[in-house]
Amino acid sequence: MSSGKAIIFSAPSGAGKTTIVQHLLQRGLDLEFSISATTRAPRKIERSGKDYFYLSIPEFLEKVEKDEFCEWEEVYTDNYYGTLKSEIERIWASGKNVIFDVDVEGGISLKKYFRDKALSIFVQPPSIESLKERLEKRETETPESIARRIGKAEQELKQADQFDFILVNDDLEEAFSRGEQVINEFLENEQ
């Protein structure tokens, strides 16, 4: 693989990682977003090639068979997510560093894959209650999916210590600032 660095943002759903990643992409840090592949259906506002690469289950499993992913997992039954090696190569070839917005298992897998070339950041919500409120405000989730995500979040919070840095998202502006500072330090550090 080409040489570049990887910034991995992981968090329970609703913790604010996507908002933080979108902010960081506009800060002139030479970062480019890694688009994940998934078998889940697109949400109303999502577009293939921008939000995700949407694949059928057979297409996804064929890519698994051909070892085309850095990491992949079945997050929920028949809902696969993964990071294509070709996407990382494309970003590094353009001279940028890659930034990921992935779930906790994906973040742990990516850190193992990239090792010292990666900085893994766990975005921690101030509480499970605040996480539930954020998910409800989205109005994209059913009560059942919120309950499922909260149950998953409780497990994911126990894995925060497997990340290089825990970024508590209690105050969004503070999280933006702290995230940018940690990333700058990592990118400036020659490996």
State how far the Cα of 94 lies from the Cα of 91, in Å rounded to an integer. 5
Question: In the numeric block, which tokens belong to residue 7?
Answer: 């910034």
What is the pLDDT confidence band of residue 190, given thresholds at 50, 70 and 90? low
**Where in the sequence is the domain holding 102, given as residue range(s)?**
6-188
Question: In the numeric block, which tokens belong to residue 155?
Answer: 């497990």
Domain membership of residue 1 (yes or no) is no
Compute how many other C-beta atoms are within 10 angstroms of the C-beta atom of residue 89. Answer: 14
Q: What is the pLDDT of residues 94-144, one digit of tens each?
A: 999 999 998 898 899 999 999 999 999 999 988 888 888 888 887 777 888
Question: In the numeric block, which tokens belong to residue 177?
Answer: 């600032």
Sheet containing strand 31-33, edge to edge, reads 31-33, 97-102, 6-10, 118-124, 165-168
**8 A C-beta contact, residue 139 and residue 14:** no
Domain membership of residue 73 (yes or no) is yes
Domain membership of residue 174 (yes or no) is yes
The model's pTM: 0.86
Give the domain CATH number at 84.
3.40.50.300
Q: How many domains does the chain have?
A: 1
Angle between helices 172-188 and 17-25 (to 10 degrees): 60
Domain membership of residue 165 (yes or no) is yes
